[in-house]
Structure 1
Amino acid sequence: MNSRPTSDPAPDRGGLLGKLMAAVRPEFRVDVLVPELGTLIFNTTPCLVRGCVHQPRTRQLCRGHYRRWQQDGRPDLDTFVATTPPSLVGRKDLTACAVEGCRYGAARQGLCVRHHGFWDRAGKPDLATWLANQSAVRHEEQPVCHLAFCTLWAQGSSPFCLNHKSRWYAAGQPDIEEFTAQCESRGDDRFDFRPLNDARQVKLELQYAVQCRHDERQINTASSVVNVAVRLAALSEATSLLDWPIERWAEFYGHRVAKHDQNGQLAFLRYAHEHVEDLQVGGGWETEFPRDVWRLHRLGIDGRARLRFDRIPQPWLRNLTKRFVRWRLSIGRSVNQAVIDVLALTRFAGFLARPEVTATQPADLGRPLLERYLADLTLDTRAVHSRNRDIASLNAFFYAVRRHEWDPALPANAMFYPDDFAKTEKRLPRGLAEQVMAQVEQPANLDRWRAPEGRLLTLILMRCGLRVGDATKIALECVIRDADGAPYLRYFNNKMKREALVPIDEELDQQIAEQQRRVLQRWPDGTRWLFPAPRKNPDGARQLTTHSYRGQLNDWLQRCDVRDEHGRPVHLTPHQWRHTFATRLINRDVPQEVVQVLLDHSSGEMTAHYARLHDSTVRRHWEKARKVNARGESVTLSPDGPLAEASWAKQRLGRVTQALPNGFCGLPVQKTCPHANACLTCPMFVTTPEFLPQHHQQRQQVLQIMSTAEARGQLRLVEMNQQVLGNLDRIITALEEGDSSQKPEAAADAS
């Protein structure tokens, strides 16, 4: 970085000024900061003008070429780019003396001072003839102009050539290094802090903010933004950014900067204000816990999230809430869960603050008060799931207060019970229709992705069933192989806080390898991610965000013109591919426990949400199974035609309205059953081999009943169950014979 250091303010080691003096490095503690290319502006493509090394700003042109394009009357951009030289005014070789070999700067008539004197004393003959008779100049050891881009010889004892020496005089003969930096950075970013020379601490604070932006390497920081902030800070006459709250700075800006120009400057000022405050207060629980607004990055937690406790009016509840949230974070609960807990307790505090609710201390939080709160929650317009989430957070809070003895006054009955949670509706899985999947899986449509990483990420979501948040965070080295060489995708399941594996095909394995090569070619020093953020990510430290991918997905769907069965444009979310993946597996007869492993679910209950077979799958299994009635006689149906369709419709209705523990009722739904619960003596009873375990269990129960009745002399009861036992024996025999006869066929199908 080219710059001229400034004199330091008197250090105050006990306060913020001393911390700034220790934190701001010398290369940033300058009047004019000229950063090296790529350290504060992270665009990866150069200016459109071929040979120009500057970073683009507007219309993919650097600042200098954009201004030249405007001065030329905004011509056709392609023509301008093709005909414009890369060098800009002030950053190119100046005219040298016309005498061959002479590299002094031209002064008059195209000649340097020395050769112009020779020509003048010769009587000013024809210049072309005179030049033709001059011998070439040989001065190989002549010093060159101090400016890096200038190849002319230095004039006399000056470090500059003739013309740059004149410019130096015209600029008021400033410091040599400062003038050199200004000339060599023309068209580049220059951060000018000189307006704050009379406010040294504010100057250091803004320099510290620029240094933080440089070190974090995540946000483009242009001098046009910072210089405006510097000038307005100088006008404020504040001795420190922390003299005013950020709201007052925003108001101050609003009176001096047009609204459409405020965003960048205000964003940088907010950033500077926050980082200077972080420097002043430090980090750790000792300094952050007493505050009513926690900034989690001060606790070493990634991100800029904040937890607000200032909206809880009761001091005792606010302190207990802080202890609860600190404990939850310390045991590994997510920031999102902490936010949910704080919001739930804030809403509960609002309920307690009502005039009609007399709760002023923990001892008042008994079961009667909680029942009133439950009644109040029923009037909440939020979804049932959101209200239940509040109850769960409060229950965890009460349990933690009692368990850790944070307040012994809390009543023992301050708790919620399972029945207090409102019943939620079971939602169907949101798998996509096969008509839609056929369109998005079409190779021609997949090739419409603008970036190959977007195409690959989409294939992973469709074929592996990952959550989009997990997929964007896949590590660069993500493929492992088993003993047979089969590839598996390794990823981190953020919801379950564990690593997981899912098998992939050879095509997907190859495309992942190609993505790895592209990533290493762009970031040769390496990166953690298979999908790094494509912009403002010079070190490859940031992964692609889900927000960025969703924007790319919507753009791709519009270009593919994907439509549903009604001809309407399809709007889908990445998570629907997870539902589709699971539903497809279930309908391909993949066992539910296998699907549970592939989805990395902790319980079968989570997987059961997807285990709802398509009607065609259920019918296929129903038609394949052997069906017998209560007498053990086979029941056959026509394989096709209207009767088969009607029989299938009746069977579906029977499953829904007349399901039995060991079979299905074949009686038309319009009729009344004359046999009550004696299904095994009912001529309309139908069962299949899938109920054999229940038949065996019921047979054992009937034998026990008959044995007990016979011992007691209850012969009538023995007689009543004799027919049931006979029917069970015939049913079991028929089903077992039919099942064994189908096994060779099933084995042949499996092979």
Structure 2
Amino acid sequence: MSRPNPGLSLRPVPGTRPQTEEPLSPAPDPWESEFGKDVWNMRALQIAAANRVTIRFDRITRPWLMDLAKRWARWRLSTGLTAECAALGTKAVADFDAFLDVTQVVVSGTAEIDRDVVERFLAYQHTHRAGQVSHRIGVGQFNMFLLAVRRYGWVTDLPNTALIYTEDYPKEVVRQPRALSEHVMRQLEHPTNLAKWPNPHHRLITVILMRCGLRISDAVALPQDCVVRDRDGAPYLRYLNHKMKREALVPIDEELERAIAEHIAYVNETSSPNGGSVGARVLFPHGRSNAQGTDHISTHTYRTCLRRWVSRCEITDEHGLSTVVSAHRFRHTLGTRLINLDVPQEVVRRILDHDSHQMTAHYARLSDTSIRRHWEAARKVNASGVEVTLDPDGPLAEAAWSKQRLGRATQALPNGYCGLPVQKTCPHANACLTCPMFITTTEFLPHHREHRTQLLQIISAAEARGQQRLVEMNTQVLGNLDRIIDTLADTPDAVRDRQDTDNAS
């Protein structure tokens, strides 16, 4: 029998109560209370949601289909998928449920979802969503639902023919970036209009969207420690890309850095003194934020206030009509501006934190379209001073534009462009002003005038030396040059440039 340790007293200390350890009760599982509901609350599930805080299953009327949709959504959320993506999948299942109601196709369980039902559902989707981006997304989401149901054994009676093949997908709709015009952006960026924001949170969010191209869900969730510096001391905005689930950096200027620092001071002065550390606090706290200041304003609130601000500032387009301004159009505008400034496409991809080069290539296509439109609208003359007309809608319009773009890149002249195919040898030995393939525009007028002065000097020197052949050749060039200058000088752009020069002098 063991003896008690004399150094260890088993008696309670006088004046104190005996200490007894009670087992800790396990924390309740939020899924137990939420799974059975028709609407899931992401906050109750302790899942961060930037735009959507609920996932609705109440549009699915068939219990067996609703149960599978819930199981699929729970699995997707548990893998780290965003609430927005999980909601897209739920909507696709709800669309299938609506299809069964409208068409009265008899499907009482997964055993009756065969290839015939799938094809009829695809036809239903095409009838209601053809030409929309949601068409392809909905088909893809429903296909992932079928694959998950079969792969993870949630049912065992789903036919093998319940498949959606690659060729079943509708053709992808490639939409051009919806960049705001510079006319509209000048109004939005004007300090007078920015000062009309009644809320300092919304004003700074707008500036960040314009200059950094963040998605609105990423902008409203910025923490206060969002500014970092590299080893050279250059500032960057660090944010969480919720769509890609990774941190990203975008370079900012000192003016924006100073504005963020001033806003942090404003937030901390107006918030509770018992708040948490600066790093844990958000940059744009909600008006009813908790003591730690970790609850940021919602994207819905900002979008509503943005529409009111645009209306208050009376923003109009080039025709004086009211224009639609959304938070995401600032992102398109930044990408388009960078491409138009000849910023390399890879740099633009990194700034916007695109996951693929294909996304960034949309802005490059828009830039090429803009340049082509200006090229087609510009007044063009050949070496004889005769105006050249190109049909933008002609059968060879695309080929002609490609040739012109390639010519600009490989055969650009100091005073115009060569209209010959790149692979053809020029027979005119650099005498472009006597070449029938030569084309020029008003942007080269200064070069033409300078060239004319040089030609007069050459002709005078050749006459003094008796070089008659040289005089004849350069006189022909001079005649063509005079006709080119006279024709181009009559364009509205040239007249405007002369007026600006006269006013400046």
Q: TM-score, normalised by structure 2?
A: 0.66
Aligned structure 1 segments of 4 or more residues deviating by more than 6 angstroms: 619-622, 639-642
The structure-2 alpha-carbon separation of the partners of 1:640 and 1:520, relative to structure 1 and needing over 3 Å to count, comes to: farther
Partner of 1:598: 351
Please show how residues 238-637 of structure 1 align to structure 2 within 5 Å. Answer: 283-286=29-32, 288-289=34-35, 294-301=40-47, 305-309=53-57, 312-352=60-100, 356-380=104-128, 384-523=132-271, 524=273, 525=275, 526=277, 528-534=281-287, 539-611=292-364, 612-613=366-367, 617-618=371-372
Partner of 1:659: 399
Tell me how far 1:584 sits from its aligned partner. Answer: 0.9
Partner of 2:466: none
Q: Rg: which structure is higher?
A: 1
| SS of aligned partner of 1:530 | coil
Partners of 1:359 and 1:573 lie apart in 2 by 42
Please show how residues 55-66 of structure 1 align to structure 2 within 5 Å. Answer: none
Partners of 2:146 and 2:205 lie apart in 1 by 43
Asked if 2 retains the 8 angstrom alpha-carbon contact of 1:465 and 1:599, the reply is yes
Asked if 1 retains the 8 angstrom alpha-carbon contact of 2:286 and 2:295, the reply is yes
Q: Which amino acid aligns with 1:420?
A: D
State yes or no: 1:688 paired with 2:407. yes
Asked if 1 retains the 8 angstrom alpha-carbon contact of 2:235 and 2:253, the reply is yes
Tell me how far 1:502 sits from its aligned partner. Answer: 0.7
Asked if 1 retains the 8 angstrom alpha-carbon contact of 2:184 and 2:317, the reply is yes
| SS of aligned partner of 2:120 | helix
The structure-2 alpha-carbon separation of the partners of 1:400 and 1:655, relative to structure 1 and needing over 3 Å to count, comes to: same
Partners of 1:661 and 1:620 lie apart in 2 by 12
Asked if 2 retains the 8 angstrom alpha-carbon contact of 1:587 and 1:617, the reply is no
Partner of 2:448: none
The structure-2 alpha-carbon separation of the partners of 1:342 and 1:520, relative to structure 1 and needing over 3 Å to count, comes to: same
The structure-2 alpha-carbon separation of the partners of 1:485 and 1:428, relative to structure 1 and needing over 3 Å to count, comes to: same
Partners of 1:604 and 1:521 lie apart in 2 by 43
Partners of 1:443 and 1:305 lie apart in 2 by 35
| SS of aligned partner of 1:397 | helix
The structure-2 alpha-carbon separation of the partners of 1:495 and 1:658, relative to structure 1 and needing over 3 Å to count, comes to: closer
Partners of 1:688 and 1:349 lie apart in 2 by 56
Asked if 2 retains the 8 angstrom alpha-carbon contact of 1:663 and 1:691, the reply is no
| Number of equivalences | 385
Identity %: 43
Please show how residues 106-121 of structure 1 align to structure 2 within 5 Å. Answer: none
The structure-2 alpha-carbon separation of the partners of 1:552 and 1:656, relative to structure 1 and needing over 3 Å to count, comes to: farther
| Cα deviation 1:249-296 (Å, max 9, x = unaligned) | xxxxxxxxxxxxxxxxxxxxxxxxxxxxxxxx9543345445555454
Q: Which amino acid aligns with 2:301?
A: S
Asked if 1 retains the 8 angstrom alpha-carbon contact of 2:136 and 2:172, the reply is no
Tell me how far 1:585 sits from its aligned partner. Answer: 0.8
The structure-2 alpha-carbon separation of the partners of 1:368 and 1:569, relative to structure 1 and needing over 3 Å to count, comes to: closer
| Cα deviation 1:680-725 (Å, max 9, x = unaligned) | xxxxxx9627579xxxxxxxxxxxxxxxxxxxxxxxxxxxxxxxxx
Partners of 1:641 and 1:562 lie apart in 2 by 43
Q: Which amino acid aligns with 1:344?
A: A
Asked if 2 retains the 8 angstrom alpha-carbon contact of 1:313 and 1:353, the reply is no
Q: Which amino acid aligns with 1:475?
A: P
The structure-2 alpha-carbon separation of the partners of 1:517 and 1:297, relative to structure 1 and needing over 3 Å to count, comes to: closer
Asked if 2 retains the 8 angstrom alpha-carbon contact of 1:662 and 1:691, the reply is no
The structure-2 alpha-carbon separation of the partners of 1:560 and 1:485, relative to structure 1 and needing over 3 Å to count, comes to: same
Asked if 2 retains the 8 angstrom alpha-carbon contact of 1:283 and 1:298, the reply is no
Partners of 1:312 and 1:535 lie apart in 2 by 34
Tell me how far 1:476 sits from its aligned partner. Answer: 0.3
Asked if 1 retains the 8 angstrom alpha-carbon contact of 2:133 and 2:173, the reply is no
Asked if 2 retains the 8 angstrom alpha-carbon contact of 1:282 and 1:298, the reply is no
Tell me how far 1:573 sits from its aligned partner. Answer: 1.3
Partners of 1:391 and 1:293 lie apart in 2 by 23
| SS of aligned partner of 1:541 | coil
Partner of 1:11: none
Partners of 1:346 and 1:438 lie apart in 2 by 44
Q: Which amino acid aligns with 1:540?
A: G
Partner of 1:29: none
| SS of aligned partner of 2:127 | coil
| SS of aligned partner of 2:363 | coil
| SS of aligned partner of 1:357 | coil
Partners of 1:463 and 1:476 lie apart in 2 by 18
Asked if 2 retains the 8 angstrom alpha-carbon contact of 1:363 and 1:410, the reply is yes
| Cα deviation 1:419-447 (Å, max 9, x = unaligned) | 32223543222111111111222223323
335-344 vs 313-322, which moves further: 313-322
By relative contact order (CA 8 Å, sep 6+), the higher-ranking structure is: 2
Partner of 1:270: none
Partners of 1:609 and 1:548 lie apart in 2 by 29
| Cα deviation 1:427-477 (Å, max 9, x = unaligned) | 222111111111222223323333443332222111111112211111101
Q: Which amino acid aligns with 2:307?
A: N
